[in-house]
């Protein structure tokens, strides 16, 4: 009788487990704009490197820790938030010489493929849109880091992505020729995107 009851308990437990939905492996993370930025670097006069950043970065990351290829990245950058620490240069960058922010207010990146290169390194292919022109680029990603809980009960993680583009490909063409035949600005632009991601904790009970 005892053996029969034991088998019945096991059978009941197994049936209950099979009736439960499979645990979701995909988690949704929001980019925290207060702790994220998209930086760029371009050569000036063939001599030095000028660096700047877009300070308003938003987006959503779907992360599947069981099958990384099911993950996705969707980022939007406010073009008017460009900041090179020089007001006059920033106004020029917002003008029709460069980003034409009134006509093209955002820069976007939407992933089309996410691949695991090795532990802690991803390769994310996607469509980058700048100045109304969309081109495929590949981001080399460090991360995401292990998640930590912040003091407000949210989960947070971070990642850093790099790539290089030619600004001419995106219609950002302004330049001026120097007496030595060189150009004021280089065409190659190195991009680094640092993001902190947040996953909101469950609302606390009022009890």
The DSSP string of 130-171 is ETTEEEEEEEEEE-PPPPEE-TTS-EEEEEEEEEEEEGGGGT
| pLDDT of the residue at 38 | 96
103 closest CA partner among 131, 78, 72, 62 = 131
| pLDDT of the residue at 25 | 74
| pLDDT of the residue at 207 | 41
Looking at the domain assignment, is residue 6 inside a domain?
no
Looking at the domain assignment, is residue 2 inside a domain?
no
Query: In percent, how much of the chain has pLDDT > 70?
Result: 85
Looking at the domain assignment, is residue 15 inside a domain?
no
Mean pLDDT of the chain: 87
Looking at the domain assignment, is residue 154 inside a domain?
yes
User: Cα-flanking dihedrals φ and ψ of residue 191, to 5°?
Assistant: -120, 135
Question: Rounded to an integer, what is the distance from CA 63 to the centroid of its chain?
Answer: 12
Looking at the domain assignment, is residue 9 inside a domain?
no
Per-residue pLDDT tens over the stretch 54-69: 999 999 999 998 899 9
Per-residue pLDDT tens over the stretch 36-52: 999 999 999 988 999 99
Looking at the domain assignment, is residue 205 inside a domain?
no
Per-residue pLDDT tens over the stretch 150-206: 999 999 999 999 999 999 999 998 989 888 888 899 999 999 999 999 998 654 444
Query: Residue 103 sits in which domain range?
Result: 22-199
121 closest CA partner among 141, 94, 104 = 141
113: domain CATH number is: 2.40.128.110
Looking at the domain assignment, is residue 27 inside a domain?
yes
Looking at the domain assignment, is residue 10 inside a domain?
no
| pLDDT of the residue at 21 | 40
| pLDDT of the residue at 179 | 85
| pLDDT of the residue at 65 | 84
Instruction: Provide the number of structural domains found in the chain.
Output: 1
Mean pLDDT of 78-100: 96
pTM, whole model, 2 decimals?
Answer: 0.82
Reported as a pLDDT band with limits 50, 70 and 90, residue 137 is: very high
> Which residues in the chain belong to E strands, given as ranges?
26-31, 37-44, 48-54, 57-64, 72-78, 82-83, 106-118, 121-130, 133-142, 148-149, 155-166, 185-199
């Amino acid at each position: 009788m005892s053996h029969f009851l034991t088998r019945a308990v096991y059978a009941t437990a197994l049936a209950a487990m099979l009736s439960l939905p499979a645990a979701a492996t995909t988690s949704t993370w929001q980019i925290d704009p207060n702790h994220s930025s998209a930086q760029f670097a371009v050569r000036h006069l063939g001599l030095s490197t000028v660096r700047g950043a877009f300070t308003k970065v938003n987006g959503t990351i779907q992360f599947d820790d069981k099958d990384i290829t099911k993950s996705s990245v969707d980022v939007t950058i406010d073009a008017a938030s460009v900041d090179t620490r020089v007001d006059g240069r920033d106004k020029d960058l917002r003008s029709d010489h460069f980003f034409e922010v009134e006509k093209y207010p955002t820069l976007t990146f939407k992933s089309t493929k996410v691949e695991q290169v090795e532990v802690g390194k991803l390769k994310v292919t996607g469509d980058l849109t700048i100045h109304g022109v969309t081109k495929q680029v590949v981001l080399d990603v460090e991360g995401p880091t292990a998640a930590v809980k912040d003091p407000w009960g949210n989960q947070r993680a971070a990642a850093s992505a790099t790539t290089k583009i030619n600004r001419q490909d995106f219609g950002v063409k302004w330049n001026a020729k120097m007496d030595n035949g060189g150009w004021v600005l280089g065409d190659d632009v190195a991009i680094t995107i640092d993001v902190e991601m947040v996953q909101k904790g469950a609302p606390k009970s009022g009890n």
